[in-house]
Amino acid sequence: MKLARPIDIEVASPRIIHEMADVGQMVRLKRRQQQLRIDDAAALTAVSVDLFSRLENGKGAVRLDKLLQVLDAMGLCMVVASKQSELVRDISKVQVITSESSPLRDQEA
């Protein structure tokens, strides 16, 4: 199965991740935007359905190499930056503004 061209409205802006559940929500949203079932997404990212499910649900340990593999295959990436960097300050401002109507929160409801 070929990945559909994603429509990155909700996932377009970077987010500060505080826990694995935050990463899982972004991965789930991206998968749903691409209209993939979890088993298809797992196959496309070369990980087990169990690992993909644990990642999306923020449950259990997921090795960093597997996390990066899934993020890359789903068209996402991880950025590590100083908390004092301009990038992080800008992301924080955007998150505060949009926190009232977070699409990630709405997707889980």
- Residue 75 CB-half CA count within 13 A: 16
Q: Note the pTM of the prediction, 2 decimals.
A: 0.74
pLDDT 10s digits, 76-106: 999 998 989 998 888 888 777 666 555 544 4
Q: What is the pLDDT of residue 3?
A: 44
For residue 22, which amino acid is it? D
Average pLDDT over every residue of 50-58: 96
Query: Could you give the domains of the chain?
Result: 20-100 (1.10.260.40)
CA proximity to 26, closest of 67, 66, 64, 62? 67
| pLDDT tens track for 2-50 | 444 433 445 567 888 889 999 999 999 999 999 999 999 999 999 999 9
